[in-house]
Amino acid sequence: MRLRDVGEFGFIARIERAAGPARGPVVVGIGDDAAVLRARPFEDVVVTTDAVVEGVHFRWDRESPRHVGRFALAACVSDLAAMGARPLGFTAALAAPADLPLRAADALTAGLLEGARRHGCPLVGGNVTRASETSLTLTALGAVARGRALTRRGTRAGDRVLVTGVLGAQALARARADAGRGRLARVPEPRLAAGRLLARTPGVVACIDVSDGLRADLAHLLGPGRHCRVSPDRLPVARGFRAACRSLDLDWETLATTGGEDYELLFTVRPQGPAAPRLARRLGLPVTELGRVERGAPAAFEKGGFTHF
Amino acid sequence: MRLRDVGEFGFIARIERAAGPARGPVVVGIGDDAAVLRARPFEDVVVTTDAVVEGVHFRWDRESPRHVGRFALAACVSDLAAMGARPLGFTAALAAPADLPLRAADALTAGLLEGARRHGCPLVGGNVTRASETSLTLTALGAVARGRALTRRGTRAGDRVLVTGVLGAQALARARADAGRGRLARVPEPRLAAGRLLARTPGVVACIDVSDGLRADLAHLLGPGRHCRVSPDRLPVARGFRAACRSLDLDWETLATTGGEDYELLFTVRPQGPAAPRLARRLGLPVTELGRVERGAPAAFEKGGFTHF
């Protein structure tokens, strides 16, 4: 069976059945002209859009369709986490060749719905269309107390730079897959609870999720005219990470600083704000202080990063 | 200049400049991890996603990039109109080959921003990525008084079926373009004000926008087990429409009933609800009563319609 055998509306009906009835903040779900979501009074709405394209962001020989769906949703929901928002729901636009096996299309949906349950972010609508390659464009909506969204703005010289979890794990997994040592399977965990806690922690200034790699995202967070020197021994990496990099003949520092797709939260805190150990206890996650924000042009460390064109 | 010459972040910066500063319901616009929008207290959030793909929904030899952008946004915002919602903002995910002329990419953006101003629906974020063909996935957000969204549900036998404006105009324009008589230029007007008025009119039951054509959308609106017989002399078409169809050797009824992309509102009203002339005065638009809803399987008229696979 191919996608064309069930058609656009047939495939949407399959998704609707798999997703089940609307619940929680979903007033109207899949199947109308638009979805209707209910935030609480005096909440702001947060919205973010992400796309993954076959041959650019994923390859069928390296990832299962289920993994593509799971990963794409984690990446999108991570932007809600970086704003300190709780999820309301998401829409999915699937573009695919008409001869895509129905099994693959169903597995993509299954991956999305698995992520939806895990992150408490229901699938509420979307679009299905023909295209020459497969792509998935997701838009996640969230809610945050009015005026309390955690943006990238506001960092000053003297603020401290911190990051949750470990870096480079996804880059290492991709390098392993490239070296023919298994398919991609691990899905990063969007830091939703941590983001909501940070948005309510006095002294926390600005936040971004590490999607393009520490170097590039640090530059986005600090903006022009500010930089932060990060000593390599401050870079948080998993146990065995350096040895694994060596065995693949890779420079561990490069992977940890430019790898991307870690989806940890990178944030700044005022000098008098909470220290890393207190934040770690509050968030229930490892938190590492990378350095202090300084005035002036960024050093080589903060330059560069992954761009698509 | 090609898209690759400015890169992903360079192109996003161009869009940001062209879009101007955040205003109205936009608390945080383009350039952060997500956008932040503010609805009024006790409003529901309405969200809809639409995609257009090169070679499937548009062709560069038939449409200008500006028209593609304008049209795509009108189609997406029309779903807000069909729910009775006012626009809050939209995100745009552009996928394009790296060698797309920068002029075309800028013109696509210009078309989106023109539509944004016209519909009061600002561009608040999105995504830019490489792909082998150009596509644009738009997600529009709107707001509606809590519990007052105008869905497709609730129509009963005896209700009347009405439609705004005229049908088949887009199908005729496409047929003209196919016959080599000019490029596509006209952009349908999403019926935003009419949708909001219908949502507040007692007796109005359910609503859909005519995107797939009257036949298909009437089937969506009435659901299984209900139908409506529409006499051809009831079909609202523009002055000169029949003659123009004849000159292209086309059947005018087929164009008016299956053409699609008219983006008029098709809605049902209880027997005791307002009549067409009163609705026309209220909406400031032509309103035509097509017929009454009957129990039973749909006749041939309501079957069929455009599907993508």
A82-125: pLDDT as tens digits? 999 999 999 999 999 999 999 999 999 999 999 999 999 999 99
CA distance A273 to A235: 21
B 235-274 near A (Cβ less than 8 A): none
CA distance B246 to B255: 11
Residue A264, φ and ψ in degrees, nearest 5: -80, 165
CATH class of B160-302: alpha beta
A205-247: pLDDT as tens digits? 999 999 999 999 999 999 989 999 999 999 999 999 999 999 9
B228 pLDDT band, cuts 50/70/90, is very high
Minimum distance, in Å, between the CA of residue B124 and any CA atom of chain A: 9
> So where are chain B's domains?
3-145, 160-302
Which pLDDT value is given to residue A209? Answer: 97
Are A130 and A95 a contacting pair, CB within 8 Å? yes
- Residue B37 to residue A47, Cβ atoms within 8 A: yes
Q: Is this structure's pTM higher than 0.80?
A: yes
Question: Is A80 in CB contact (< 8 Å) with chain B?
Answer: yes
Q: Average pLDDT, whole number, for chain B? A: 94
Joined tokens for residue A118: 């895990």
In chain A, whose CA is at the least distance from the CA of B58? Answer: A131
Nearest Cβ partner for B141 among A31, A47, A147: A47
Is 70 exceeded by the pLDDT of residue B253? yes
CA distance A5 to A274: 58
Joined tokens for residue B76: 């997406």
Is 80 exceeded by the pLDDT of residue B26? yes
Are A203 and A91 a contacting pair, CB within 8 Å? no
Q: Which amino acid is at A21?
A: P
Q: What is the DSSP string of chain A?
A: -BHHHHHHHHHHHHHHHHH-S--TTEEE-TTSSSEEE-PPTTEEEEEEEEEEEBTTTB-TTTS-HHHHHHHHHHHHHHHHHHHTPEEEEEEEEEEE-TTSBHHHHHHHHHHHHHHHHHHT--EEEEEEEE-SS-EEEEEEEEEEETT----S----TT-EEEEES-SSHHHHHHHHHHTTS----------HHHHHHHHTSTTEEEEEE-SS-HHHHHHHHH-TTEE----GGG----TTHHHHHHHTT--HHHHHHH------EEEEE-TTS--HHHHHHHHTS-EEEEEE-EESS--GGGS------
A207: chain B residues, CB-CB within 8 Å:
33
Residue B205, SS3 per DSSP: strand
B267: chain A residues, CB-CB within 8 Å:
none
Over residues B202-228, mean pLDDT: 95
Over residues B247-269, mean pLDDT: 95
Which residue reads 């319609």 in tokens? B305
Q: What is the CATH number of domain B3-145?
A: 3.30.1330.10
A150-200: pLDDT as tens digits? 999 999 999 999 999 999 999 999 999 888 877 888 899 999 999 999 999
H or E element that contains B292: strand B287-292
Going by C-alpha positions, the residue among A187, A192, A213 that lies closest to residue A69 is: A187
CA distances from A68 to A97, A115, A232, B261 (A): 16, 11, 32, 32
